[in-house]
Structure 1
Amino acid sequence: MNSKIQILKTVTFKRPDGTTRQKTVLFKTLWADVTRATLKEYREVTGIAEEKENVIFLVNYMDSRDITEKMFVLFNGEKYNIKDIQRDYERFDCNRIIGRRNTK
């Protein structure tokens, strides 16, 4: 695990005037192995054909148990939507997070 990534989540909070606002906040920082997924590999894993760039983050199982697909990954200044999390229930070693670059 040679790259540091940040997991972000969107939180809704209420202002004093009664209106609500959403804000993206830091959830946790993790070490990860980062690789780019080829389109062929992504199709095999998810069964979906997409033309956007996908990145695979391998993270420690124990550190990433509470991460969900509603969160985001921040890596090298780029924000990635979490599209899939493949949990390692057999060896409890590494979880595989598939992220797609956020174009917004």
Structure 2
Amino acid sequence: MSDYANKIEQAAVSLADAVTHEMELEDTRHIIKLTAIEHIMGSGDNKLTGKPHSFSSAEAVVHTDENYAEHLAKLRHAARDRILAKGRYDAAVIAATLQENISV
């Protein structure tokens, strides 16, 4: 196998790993969000209304939950990693194509 084919294969594996990681985080996002909403609902009264948080009022502020915010940050980072891995894969394919055209 040529050096270019190896680089393409390595980049493809990295891209697949990045996509898999992002999908795993996305698969767990909903349960983490629901857990955060339950936490907010049980944490006391809504400061705006003075009443206990309803599901919808807790959902409106769910991004303030530390665990959910951390999960969203991981998801954003995973999306960034996927985009960069795709760029490396595309660059490897382009380099191989250019080399093939030069060699002919």
Shorter-chain TM range is: under 0.3
Relative to the length of structure 2, the TM-score reads 0.20
TM-score, normalised by the number of residues in structure 1: 0.20
In our comparison, the structure showing a higher alpha carbon Rg is 2
Which of the pair is proportionally richer in strand? 1
Higher relative CO (Cα under 8 Å, sequence separation at least 6) belongs to: 2
Normalized per residue, the structure richer in helix is: 2
